């Protein structure tokens, strides 16, 4: 069976790695991938957002099943294009992808279906937005409506900062059409966590829980990034909280999708703030998280390809979750997230390959002759298993000592937030 993975990051490496272990021995292809994925999948030199060219490729090469990693192809309508041609693909259609592609759409959807989230208003006029921010005061959160590669949400500690952000978005249009509108929302206090499910119509299957570390620096300081590390499961999501997430968020969302006539089949990521009042939605993503996917997939014990195929066909599936912990530390380039330096030779990967319980998923890497070099902001995900979270953390950080590239930096505190919940 031929399977195509769409995307270039650490999440896609983890997806390809998990699929490659299937009893169905799939012949894997990746568009475009990275140096790590190319070790297990054949490279396809088509941009993930060139949905027509990808569908042509899938038709010509007899691809049996396609799994989409990032949001951009989904928002661009890759699923609609593949399904029009009778090709099997796992992901939501364009209409469903709007839950991530437009924050204003997602917020209106949540309001309509009574899904708990921060209070908000949508603006396209700078003066009106400024007046609102001045009335509400700080802290306050300003978000570009459309896709901005994880950089479109700004938590503003002062009114001044909020007004500057509004100016950048609405007047300067730093993200082009993606910031034609902005969402201004109430600042929520609490602990963040990620809850990802697979949805097929009425059915849903929760994947293991996880927690990301979005800020660049230790202690949650510095700018927001795509994510600097994650672990699974997270004690932040207790069984009681999980029950509320299912009832107040997932089930209402599925009901809403049906009411709106959106046939949703794919992953759905809920970015949560666990507040004093309970779980509230920060954002919906229509895909697996990156870096959350890495520890999550490491802990799924099913044959993932079979699981996906069965779920795709509408069968009932049962997820088997490992008892072990998994933790992922992202190694980033100097200058990330603003202006990452690239083209740096990466050393030490061969040594780390030999370590027990350690897996390195590549993100921004490519081959240059006999070297593997950095090609993006997030470069590698060093992941490890442990019988405890502490052990997983120790193994991941021990492995990092063998790896280096010029300007490499990473957070030293991935997982620490969990220890207070675990009493460690
Ligand atoms: P988003 O892309 O909407 O998930 O926002 C990115 C990050 O900004 C989140 O992971 C949070 O850390 C932070 N954030 C977003 N919205 C809020 C909010 N209403 N209150 C507090 N922090 C927020
Ligand atoms: N790790 C956050 C995201 O994938 O959006």
Q: In this predicted model, what pLDDT tens digit does every residue of 52-75 receive, in sequence order? A: 999 999 999 999 999 999 999 999
Question: What is the 421 CA–ligand 1 centroid distance (Å)?
Answer: 22
**Residue 280 near ligand 1, beta carbon < 6 Å:** no
| In the predicted structure, residue 22 carries a pLDDT above the cut 80 | yes
For position 424, what pLDDT does the model report?
Answer: 75
- Which tens digit of pLDDT belongs to each residue from 87-97? 999 999 999 99
Shortest-distance atom of ligand 2 to CA 11:
4
| In the predicted structure, residue 419 carries a pLDDT above the cut 80 | yes
Q: How would DSSP label each residue in 366-378?
A: EEETTEEEE-SSE
**Residue 210 near ligand 2, beta carbon < 6 Å:** no
For position 151, what pLDDT does the model report?
Answer: 79
For position 382, what pLDDT does the model report?
Answer: 98
Which tokens belong to 12? Answer: 């896609």
- Which tens digit of pLDDT belongs to each residue from 306-329? 999 999 999 999 999 999 999 999
CA angle 15, 77, 90 (to 5 degrees): 35
Mean pLDDT value across residues 265-284: 97
Burial of residue 144, with CB atoms counted within 10 A of its CB: 0-12 exposed, 13-18 middle, 19 or more buried? buried
pLDDT interval class at 423 (50, 70, 90): confident
| In the predicted structure, residue 149 carries a pLDDT above the cut 80 | no
**Residue 145 near ligand 2, beta carbon < 6 Å:** no
For position 150, what pLDDT does the model report?
Answer: 74
Domains of the chain: 2-91 (3.40.50.20), 120-186 (3.30.1490.20), 191-312 (3.30.470.20), 325-416 (3.90.600.10)
For position 13, what pLDDT does the model report?
Answer: 98
Mean pLDDT value across residues 331-347: 97
Instruction: Write out the H or E segment, with its range, that includes residue 156.
Output: strand 153-156
**Residue 12 near ligand 2, beta carbon < 6 Å:** no
For position 420, what pLDDT does the model report?
Answer: 87
- Identify each DSSP E strand in 125-277 by its residue range: 140-144, 153-156, 182-186, 191-200, 203-206, 211-212, 215-217, 221-224, 229-232, 265-275
Mean pLDDT value across residues 270-299: 97
Average pLDDT value for the chain: 97
**Residue 282 near ligand 1, beta carbon < 6 Å:** yes
Percent of the chain with pLDDT strictly greater than 70: 100
d(Cα 363, Cα 13) in Å, to the nearest integer? 8
**Residue 224 near ligand 1, beta carbon < 6 Å:** yes
Mean pLDDT value across residues 218-240: 95
Which tokens belong to 396? Answer: 């991941």
- Which tens digit of pLDDT belongs to each residue from 6-18? 999 999 999 999 9
- Which tens digit of pLDDT belongs to each residue from 157-174? 999 999 999 999 999 999
Mean pLDDT value across residues 382-408: 98
d(Cα 218, Cα 155) in Å, to the nearest integer? 17
Q: Are 301 and 350 in contact (CB under 8 A)?
A: no
Mutate to test the pocket of ligand 1, among 71, 120, 183, 283 (most ligand atoms within 8 A of CB): 283
């Amino acid at each position: 069976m031929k399977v195509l993975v769409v995307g270039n990051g650490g999440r896609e490496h983890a997806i390809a790695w998990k699929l490659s272990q299937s009893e169905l021995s799939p012949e894997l292809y990746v568009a475009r991938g990275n140096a790590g994925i190319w070790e297990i999948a054949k490279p396809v030199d088509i941009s993930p957002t060139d949905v027509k060219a990808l569908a042509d490729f899938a038709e010509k090469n007899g691809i049996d099943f396609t799994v989409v990693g990032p949001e951009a192809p989904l928002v661009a309508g890759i699923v609609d294009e593949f399904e029009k041609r009778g090709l099997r693909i796992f992901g939501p259609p364009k209409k469903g992808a709007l839950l991530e592609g437009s924050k204003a759409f997602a917020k209106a959807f949540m309001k309509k279906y009574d899904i708990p989230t921060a209070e908000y208003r949508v603006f396209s006029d700078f003066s009106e937005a400024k007046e609102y921010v001045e009335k509400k005061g700080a802290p306050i959160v300003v978000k570009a409506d459309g896709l901005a590669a994880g950089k479109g949400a700004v938590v503003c500690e002062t009114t001044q900062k909020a007004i500057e952000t509004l100016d950048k978005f609405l007047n300067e249009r730093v993200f082009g059409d993606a910031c034609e509108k902005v969402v201004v929302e109430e600042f929520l206090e609490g602990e963040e966590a990620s809850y990802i499910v697979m949805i097929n119509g009425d059915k849903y299957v929760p994947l293991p829980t996880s927690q990301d570390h979005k800020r660049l620096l230790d202690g949650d300081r510095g700018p927001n990034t795509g994510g600097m590390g994650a672990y699974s499961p997270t004690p932040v999501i207790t069984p009681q909280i999980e029950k509320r997430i299912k009832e107040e968020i997932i089930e209402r969302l599925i009901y809403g999708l049906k009411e709106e006539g959106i046939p949703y089949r794919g992953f759905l990521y809920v970015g949560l703030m666990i507040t004093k009042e309970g779980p509230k939605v920060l954002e919906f993503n229509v895909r697996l998280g990156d870096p959350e996917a890495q520890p999550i997939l490491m802990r799924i014990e099913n044959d993932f390809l079979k699981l996906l195929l069965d779920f795709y066909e509408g069968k009932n599936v049962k997820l088997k979750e490992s008892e072990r912990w998994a933790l992922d530390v992202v190694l980033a380039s100097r200058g990330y997230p603003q202006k990452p330096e690239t083209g740096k030779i990466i050393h030490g990967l061969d040594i780390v390959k030999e370590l027990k319980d350690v897996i390195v998923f590549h993100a921004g890497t490519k081959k240059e002759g006999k070297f593997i070099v950095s090609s993006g902001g997030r470069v590698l995900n060093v992941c490890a298993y442990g019988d405890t979270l502490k052990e997983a953390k120790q193994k991941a950080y021990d492995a990092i000592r063998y790896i280096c590239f010029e300007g490499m930096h990473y957070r030293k505190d991935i997982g620490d937030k969990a220890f207070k919940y675990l009493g460690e």
